[in-house]
Structure 1
Amino acid sequence: MSSTPSTSSTPTNNPTTPTNNLGANLEFVREEDFVEYFIFPPTNKDNNEDDDKNETHLESLLQKIKAQVDQISEDYIWHKDEFNLTIRTEARESLREEENNEKQVPLPPHLHGITHYGDNIQDEWFIVHLLYEITRENAGVVARVVDADGEFLVIEAADYLPKWANPDTCEQRVYIAEGHLLLVQNSPSNTAAVLSVAGALSKISQNPTLYRVSANIQNCVDERLNEFTKERRQEAIHTQVAHLPIGVASILAQRPSLIAPACRAFCERDPIDMKACRAMRFFPPEDRVRTAVKFTRCIYAMLMHSAYVPDRRTGWNLASATSPEEYKEDLLGVKIACGFEILASQAKENGDLENDSAWRAYLRSLVSKGYFKDNLEGSAKYNQLMEDAKSFFIANRLRFRTRPVVGKEIVQMLHSLDPVNAEKLREDESSLPRSDSDSWLDISSEELDAMLTKKYGTKKLFSPAGDMNAKEFTSNITDFLDRQSEFDGIDDDEPTVVSPRKSTMRKNTSMRKAVKEHPIAAPSPDQSVSFDPDAFSTHVKNFLDFVIPEDNWESNSEMSDYEDEEDLERNIEEMTNSEMHIESDIKAYMNQMDKELSKTTIGKSFEKSSEKRPKSCGEDDFDDIESFKPIDINVNTLKNMMDSYKSQVGGSGPASNLLTAMGVGMGNSTASVKAPNKDVDLSESTV
């Protein structure tokens, strides 16, 4: 298991673990896909219990919770790591006192766990479901859960948080108690301070119901947790018949959950793994049986989209492609068997660390965090620290589903298989259930839009009746372009990847840069196209702000714009000189344009304003001025936008993308653009 160093500053409960070693500790290496959870027992009123008594209480609570979790997750298939808990009584947390100053304070004794969920985010939310059930069944127990994004429970409900809540002020203030989500309120006098876990638990114990979140926030979380009811949990399972070696089929009959690590091992295979697949020493292909296999949808999709052509010399004989269902069963069986073979080939004893990739990654992380300080390699102190690290790694790696750990389990099961079970599998071949349809793998654009709308809804900018005012519409476009993005962009000075879930909470985060002196889109040296959103925004707003200049015939005095005759002569001279420079180019350009447009009806396509400017007393009687009707920019903008949308037939395109980003929902009923004193019909388009 390739891992990245932990960023946590919480040492583990280990007698040999240094409490603070230049910021480094023996915390197990975790990847970015981790979810970390804490379960705190009922608060001790007198705080006089010693560590032995705390451990006794925690051990009793651990066994009770373990039995409860085993019952709830009996048929659950974990993608990577399982839900696991260990006892911690000596852990500490870091609290920021000032900008560059931290202090270490003890964490109350608790049960602690870390789970890597890999590509299946459902595991993270299933753990939240377990914590809800644990706190509901165990009075006084309080849980906390975070991931690489931090307090992801409130990030899920970012639209409904109180004004004081943001990623910084919510840190260590989100808890679960009695099956409800709690948000411990911040002090109005100090919104930047981080509340200690012990302080939060004390507040909760004094009034457990005081800090319950609003119904809107609770509903956001409950909507995700409803997926794990007994009825809906089966929707995430896909059953498929596969042609498997008898050894693989027998192991899966006993431990269906092993399908996940086997499929992941196959999908993540490397050239060394392929050597094991060509040998098939543990699961030869000669003796195979058809059996029904249960996958999570995530695992099944990964396996189906992992291309593989087995080596015929290995002994795999696949059905003809003219029998697609049989061919599918054979090829799936090959992929699953290769995954089991890869795991079995990597099985190692716990003490064998030299060739363990997980240990090497863990050791690199310790070195990078300064665990060995300035001790020279081979010195007595260095060797002692190394032994401590090895002892901790061996004791804790069983908590994580690394390949050597799973491979060892598979080999042990393979050596203890009962021949009776193999015979039963052959008998069941004739009565296997039909494979589930995998049509869910293909999602149309309409289905995707429906899913996104159901998840995030549509922001209504206009009346449900479908009527819209053209001026209001163009105003909304301008407002939309003026809005500052709610997502963090890329800092040119310090590139940082920010999770979209966290960044949606960071209001008023500016993405805008000064408009550069370059085109909106231009080919880059690698032939890719770059896009400047600010330049695009500026051009669109300039277009929307365009107005027909009014003739200034109503001036009370022909000399009112000039202070004296000298100014008038100077301005006339400047205008004349300017005209002389551009007259020839402009005339040629205008003449050419007039010739081209005279053959078209484009002039009739523009909607004109019905408002006439009243003739002023003393105004010159020019027919062209009198009959002139200015173009209605608002109506034309909206009409052209609607025409563009209709031409896309509901598909993706500039108009639909812009309208969707604005939160405008398009329907199928009739809408009309209301211009002054007229209606422009926009059939079958509604906003």
Structure 2
Amino acid sequence: MAAAATSSSSNPFPFPTRRPPDDTLFYAIYPLPLPTGLPPAALLASLQSLHLALLSHLSPFLSSHLFHRDPFTLSLPADPSSPCTLCASPPIPHLHGALRFGDSLPDEWLAVALLFALTRAFPDTVARAWDSDGDFLLIEAAFALPRWLDPDTAPNRVFIARGDLHILPPSLFPSTPSLDAALRAVHDDSVPTRAPDAVQAAIQRRISGNLPEMAAANLHTARVVAPAPVAKVLAEEPCLVARAVEGFYDRDVDTMKHAARMSRFLKGPAGDGVEMVRTSVRMTRAMYAQLMQQSFQAPRGYPMPRREEGPDRWVEAELGMKIACGFEMMYQERRHEVEEGKGSTWEVYRKSLEAAGCFEGLLPGSKEYKRVMEDAMQYYKTSSLFSRTREILSAPVRRIDEILAMPYSAEDFQGIDLPPSDDDSWLRNGEDELNAELHERQKEIEEYEALKKHTKGQKQNVSSSSTSQPSDFNLGEITESMQDFVRKMSSFEGAEVPSNREEMESVDLDVNQFFKAMESVLGKVSQEKAGNDAETDRKSSSSDMDFDDSDYENDSAEDAGDKDMDDSFMESYSDALNQELSNTSIKETFSRAPHHTNDEGPSNAADSDGEMAPVDVDLNLVESFLNSYSSQQGLPGPASNLLGLMGVKVPPPDGKKL
């Protein structure tokens, strides 16, 4: 293991493939028609032009809106001519992004609304969005989706184009389409891919309204009293409050040590104290809830007012203290991770090495264990993942250092007319919002059940004019349904039983070819119908069960003799079997076909030669079904279930013997 770990000729520490995080939205935008066949430089220029146009369109909104964790961004793939690792897609020209929304689910739907708006403003673009649940847009419209659509059939079928949701039907692509073919179909106006109105309505309920109004409904403004460095950072980069709240909410014992010292945001450049100022902070509702719902004691030495000064001043100071501590913990922890070369990605990488057995048989802390760990760390630091992680971690730290390096003072925040704090009654009155959401879901379920019941009623009216009158019940339906059922093809998923017998596909059975096949197997040919069957066989069309006429023309006399012997044996065997069965009571358990009369009078063949009369299979089938149904006494059972699946409606038992 050690030798493998130190080998430089191969990759001893492969990076694992990670499952998409549960709190991240992924999205991609494709230009159509796809700019394929272009030189790499021309392709890159085309994507850059689209990138600039899309960001320019969104700039007025994105510059003023605050997301809970990550902002909505679009970027170019590292290599447009190579498969995309973020989208797990083939090398198709596109722009993509990932938005980590955390606990703020409205941010995910706000990003979806932006994608709908972009495709509406740029008709020659198609977008798709997914998260750890897959095509989550289908979950929102679950009660309106066609029955064939499920997670197995959904890949490469759900897109956003021209401001609408598009779903590729199986009639267009029976199997999972390729991404290239799916995009071309969505872009083709002659191909009907727009989702039904019910699906559109379900999605629009979540993203309807003006984008600024929709975004403002998820924001909360609050006055706080915080250290001057914190106020300066928030004034220059308001979006960094998301990192501060994240640092406060995800704190642990180690990061709490940084908050206890407050060496960056509670001390001036010369080590002296800083002044407290009043400022206004805008954050998402989820951020505000995360700060307010957690009890947190101020670090020793942090200036807090007395409670006697009033509850409003105490709330403002406490909220500012939590934000300041969040900034301190985030800043110090990220700087430490950058210096040490460690972070969340390193922890994931290290755990994957442990799972792969790289440290098997090594005691933690031993010399060999430390050597393998150092080799893994050196390999990690030379990877592109480490470079990207280091850049992400250090970006807020560098920006904070740049802001605090600028001259500022507490007087800069005095005399400013601050907006009042928003009403936070929503934080305690969420029951009404929850009930409204539950009512909306219940309404969807009721509409779905009503539609299903209406559709079922229409099918029943088509199959039977009245199910309540026993006189309308046709016994022949049982035999016909059972015959259609046994002729249906089955597979490893089971037998297919249609809900409406009249809607079943017709079963084509070539009787002549069927008897011909049976005769070839059993070797029993009726001498009376031999001539007629031969003539019919010559006229019948070929099928999978046809035999060539040359097979019979080339039969030798010896084969014909063997066939006659087989016919004679089968006749003798049949006579002996009938004679044996006629002496038992089994003949009394079946209903038999009645004897027919002819010009010579009633047939007494059964009495004269002892042969058993033929069994009426259809009659026995109906009697067995009705006896089983009657024995259920109106309760669920195998007979009623099977008849119901075949679409046969049987009147309830009336107490008489069936």
Change (3 A) 1:357 1:458: closer
Within 5 Å, which residues of 2 pair with 1:672-687?
none
TM-fit CA distance, 1:120:
0.9
Q: Could you tell me the TM-score, scaled by structure 2's length?
A: 0.57
Change (3 A) 1:25 1:371: farther
Matched, 1:298 2:280: no
TM-fit CA distance, 1:280:
0.9
Corresponding residue number in structure 1 for 2:396: 406
SS in 2 for 1:274: helix
Change (3 A) 1:444 1:254: closer
Give percent identity, aligned residues only: 29
Corresponding residue number in structure 1 for 2:256: 274
Residues 350-389 of structure 1: per-residue CA shift (max 9 Å, x gap): 97453333333245457868999xxx9999xx98997587
Corresponding residue number in structure 1 for 2:298: 310
Corresponding residue number in structure 1 for 2:90: 106
TM-fit CA distance, 1:25:
6.4
CA contact (8 A) 1:42 1:142 kept: yes
Corresponding residue number in structure 1 for 2:133: 149
Change (3 A) 1:458 1:136: closer
Corresponding residue number in structure 2 for 1:355: 342
Corresponding residue number in structure 1 for 2:50: 61
SS in 1 for 2:282: strand
Matched, 1:245 2:227: yes
TM-fit CA distance, 1:438:
1.1
CA contact (8 A) 2:68 2:283 kept: no
Corresponding residue number in structure 2 for 1:129: 113
Matched, 1:256 2:247: no
Matched, 1:442 2:428: yes
TM-fit CA distance, 1:189:
8.2
TM-fit CA distance, 1:235:
2.0
Residue ranges of structure 2 left out of the alignment (5+ in a row):
1-9, 267-272, 360-367, 451-658
Change (3 A) 1:72 1:189: closer
2:158 to 155, 174, 178: 174
Matched, 1:79 2:64: no
* CA distance in structure 1 between the partners assigned to 2:48 and 2:196 by the alignment: 34
Aligned residue identity for 1:74: S
Corresponding residue number in structure 2 for 1:673: none
1:340 to 315, 324, 327: 327
TM-fit CA distance, 1:408:
3.2
* CA distance in structure 2 between the partners assigned to 1:210 and 1:377 by the alignment: 61
SS in 2 for 1:457: helix
Matched, 1:194 2:173: no
* CA distance in structure 2 between the partners assigned to 1:160 and 1:125 by the alignment: 19
Greater shift, 60-69 or 264-273, is seen at 60-69
* CA distance in structure 1 between the partners assigned to 2:351 and 2:134 by the alignment: 25
Residues 644-668 of structure 1: per-residue CA shift (max 9 Å, x gap): xxxxxxxxxxxxxxxxxxxxxxxxx
* CA distance in structure 1 between the partners assigned to 2:341 and 2:202 by the alignment: 47
Aligned residue identity for 2:440: K
Change (3 A) 1:446 1:222: closer
Change (3 A) 1:227 1:303: farther
CA contact (8 A) 1:344 1:411 kept: no
Corresponding residue number in structure 2 for 1:120: 104
CA contact (8 A) 2:101 2:108 kept: yes
CA contact (8 A) 1:266 1:338 kept: yes
TM-fit CA distance, 1:409:
2.2
Greater shift, 447-456 or 78-87, is seen at 447-456
Matched, 1:326 2:313: yes
Greater shift, 333-342 or 25-34, is seen at 25-34
SS in 2 for 1:355: coil
Corresponding residue number in structure 1 for 2:507: none
CA contact (8 A) 1:353 1:359 kept: no
2:83 to 89, 92, 114: 92
Residues 228-252 of structure 1: per-residue CA shift (max 9 Å, x gap): 6223422222111111101111111
SS in 1 for 2:404: helix
* CA distance in structure 2 between the partners assigned to 1:117 and 1:369 by the alignment: 31
CA contact (8 A) 2:106 2:218 kept: no
Corresponding residue number in structure 1 for 2:524: none
Change (3 A) 1:225 1:253: same
TM-fit CA distance, 1:118:
1.0
> Which structure has the bigger radius of gyration?
2
Matched, 1:226 2:208: yes
CA contact (8 A) 2:233 2:400 kept: yes
CA contact (8 A) 2:232 2:408 kept: no
CA contact (8 A) 2:259 2:325 kept: yes
TM-fit CA distance, 1:77:
1.4
* CA distance in structure 2 between the partners assigned to 1:189 and 1:43 by the alignment: 20
Matched, 1:392 2:403: no
2:411 to 416, 423, 432: 423
* CA distance in structure 2 between the partners assigned to 1:39 and 1:149 by the alignment: 20
SS in 2 for 1:203: helix
TM-fit CA distance, 1:146:
0.6
CA contact (8 A) 2:185 2:191 kept: no
Residues 172-225 of structure 1: per-residue CA shift (max 9 Å, x gap): 2111112221111124884xx322211211212333772111222112222211
CA contact (8 A) 2:47 2:76 kept: no
Q: Which is richer in helix? A: 2
CA contact (8 A) 2:119 2:163 kept: yes
Change (3 A) 1:76 1:205: same
Aligned residue identity for 1:86: L
* CA distance in structure 2 between the partners assigned to 1:108 and 1:370 by the alignment: 37
* CA distance in structure 1 between the partners assigned to 2:356 and 2:126 by the alignment: 32
Change (3 A) 1:145 1:451: closer
**CA RMSD after TM alignment:** 3.8
SS in 2 for 1:92: coil
Residues 42-70 of structure 1: per-residue CA shift (max 9 Å, x gap): 2247x322333222211222222233333
Q: Could you tell me the TM-score, scaled by structure 1's length?
A: 0.55
Residue ranges of structure 1 left out of the alignment (5+ in a row):
1-17, 95-103, 465-687
Within 5 Å, which residues of 2 pair with 1:648-687?
none
Change (3 A) 1:232 1:58: closer
* CA distance in structure 1 between the partners assigned to 2:190 and 2:336 by the alignment: 47
* CA distance in structure 2 between the partners assigned to 1:367 and 1:227 by the alignment: 50
* CA distance in structure 1 between the partners assigned to 2:276 and 2:377 by the alignment: 50
2:275 to 287, 299, 303: 287
Residues 127-165 of structure 1: per-residue CA shift (max 9 Å, x gap): 212212222233411111110000011211111112221
* CA distance in structure 2 between the partners assigned to 1:326 and 1:138 by the alignment: 49
* CA distance in structure 2 between the partners assigned to 1:68 and 1:449 by the alignment: 37
Aligned residue identity for 1:354: G
Corresponding residue number in structure 2 for 1:490: none
SS in 2 for 1:213: coil
Aligned residue identity for 1:405: A
Change (3 A) 1:389 1:143: farther
Corresponding residue number in structure 2 for 1:603: none
Aligned residue identity for 1:441: L
CA contact (8 A) 1:237 1:295 kept: yes
Change (3 A) 1:167 1:60: same
SS in 1 for 2:246: helix
Within 5 Å, which residues of 2 pair with 1:461-480?
none
Residues 584-611 of structure 1: per-residue CA shift (max 9 Å, x gap): xxxxxxxxxxxxxxxxxxxxxxxxxxxx
Give the aligned length: 420
1:36 to 18, 26, 31: 26
TM-fit CA distance, 1:346:
2.5
TM-fit CA distance, 1:106:
2.8
CA contact (8 A) 2:338 2:390 kept: no
Change (3 A) 1:456 1:28: same
* CA distance in structure 2 between the partners assigned to 1:399 and 1:180 by the alignment: 37
* CA distance in structure 2 between the partners assigned to 1:145 and 1:82 by the alignment: 16
